[in-house]
Chain A
Amino acid sequence: MDLSYTPEEEDFRARLREWLARTLPGLPPRPSPGDWPGRRAYDLGWQRRLYEAGYAGVHWDATPGVRLIFLEETEKAGAPYVGAGFVGLLHAGPTIAAEGTDAQRARWLPPILRGEEVWCQGFSEPDAGSDLAALRTRAWRDGDDYVVTGSKIWTSHAEVADWCELLVRTDPAAPKHRGITWLALPMDAPGITVRPLRTLAGPAEFAEVFLDEVRVPVANRVGDENDGWRVTLVTLSFERGTAFAGEVVACRRALAELAVEARKNGRWDDPALRRRLGRLNAEFRALWRLTQWNVSAAEASGGVPGAGGSVFKLRYSHARQELYDAAAEVLGPDCLDLDRPWTPDRLSSLAYTIAAGTSQVQHSIIAERILGLPKGR
Chain B
Amino acid sequence: MRFRLTDDQRALRVGVREALARQFDGRALRAAVEEADGGGAAGEGTGRAVGAPRLGRGLWRALGDLGFFALRVPEADGGVGLGLPEAVLVFEEAGRALLPGPLVATHLAAGAVPGAATGETVVAAVDGGLVEWLAAADVVRGDSAGAVPLRSLDPLTPLHRVPAGRPASGTDPVAVLLTAAEQLGTATRVCELAAQHARAREQFGRPIGAFQAVAHLCAGILVRAETARAAVYAAAVTADPADIAAARILADEAAVRGARDCLQVHGGMGFTWESEVHLHLKRAWVRAQRAGGVTESEEMLAAALASETA
Contact = CB atoms under 8 A, between A and B. Distances in A.
B298 to A, nearest CB: 4
B250 A371 contact: no
A282 B247 CA distance: 7
Nearest to A256: B309
Contact of A285 (B85, B215, B223, B243): B243
A49 interface: no
Interface string A340-373: 0000000000000000000010111011101111
A3 B238 contact: yes
B136 interface: no
Interface in B1-57: 1-6, 9
A274 interface: yes
Contact of B195 (A64, A311, A314, A373): A373
Contact of A372 (B9, B85, B199, B309): B199
Contacts of A308: 226
A278 B238 contact: no
A280 to B, nearest CB: 8
B301 A279 contact: yes
Interface string A238-262: 0000000000000000011101100
Contacts of B215: 363-364, 367-368, 371, 373, 376
A285 B242 contact: yes
Contacts of B9: 1
A259 B230 contact: no
Contact of A373 (B210, B227, B301): B210
B230 A374 contact: no
Interface centre among B215, B226, B230 (most CB of A within 10 A): B230
A278 B298 contact: yes
A139 interface: no
A1 B305 contact: no
Nearest to A300: B4
A372 B195 contact: yes
B234 to A, nearest CB: 4
A375 B209 CA distance: 8
Contact of B2 (A2, A274, A363, A367): A2
A366 B222 contact: yes
Given A281-B246, A282-B249, A286-B246, A3 B1 contact: yes
Majority DSSP secondary structure for residues of B touching A: helix
Given A259-B309, A281-B302, A300-B4, A287 B209 contact: no
B219 interface: yes
B198 interface: yes
Interface centre among A64, A256, A282, A362 (most CB of B within 10 A): A282
A9 interface: yes
Given A285-B246, A286-B227, A292 B305 contact: no
A286 B230 contact: yes
A255 to B, nearest CB: 7
Contacts of A362: 219
Given A259-B306, A292-B234, A371 B299 contact: no
B228 A259 contact: no
Interface centre among B1, B6, B223, B247 (most CB of A within 10 A): B1
Interface string A284-315: 01110110110111011000000010010011
B245 interface: yes
Nearest to A290: B230
A266 B207 CA distance: 53
Q: How large is the interface on B (under 10, 10 to 19, 20 to 34, 35 or more residues)?
A: 35 or more
Contacts of B299: 271, 274-275, 278
A4 interface: yes
Given A1-B237, A3-B234, A9 B1 contact: yes
A374 B227 contact: no
Given A275-B295, A290-B230, A371 B3 contact: no
Nearest to A314: B223
Contacts of B216: 360, 363-364, 367
B219 A1 contact: no
Nearest to B192: A371
A301 to B, nearest CB: 10
A287 B226 CA distance: 10
Interface centre among B2, B220, B222 (most CB of A within 10 A): B2
B10 to A, nearest CB: 11
Contacts of A300: 4
A19 interface: no
Contacts of A289: 3, 230-231, 233-234
Given A1-B233, A259-B306, A296-B1, A278 B228 contact: no
B207 A292 contact: no
A41 to B, nearest CB: 33
Contacts of A331: none
A363 B228 contact: no
Contact of B237 (A2, A5, A299, A367): A2
A198 interface: no
Contacts of B77: none
A3 B250 CA distance: 19
B222 A370 contact: yes
B227 A256 contact: no
A366 B220 CA distance: 9
B300 interface: yes
A257 B305 CA distance: 9
B304 interface: yes
B233 A367 contact: no
Nearest to B86: A1
A311 B234 contact: no
A281 B2 contact: no
- State the 3 A-B residue pairs at the shortest beta-carbon distance, nearest first: A278-B302, A373-B209, A278-B298
8 contacts: A1-B233, A3-B234, A5-B1, A278-B297, A286-B250, A366-B222, A373-B215, A376-B215
Given A65-B1, A281-B242, A371-B215, 14 more contacts: A1-B9, A3-B3, A3-B234, A68-B1, A256-B308, A274-B299, A281-B246, A286-B247, A289-B233, A315-B223, A360-B212, A373-B195, A373-B207, A373-B218
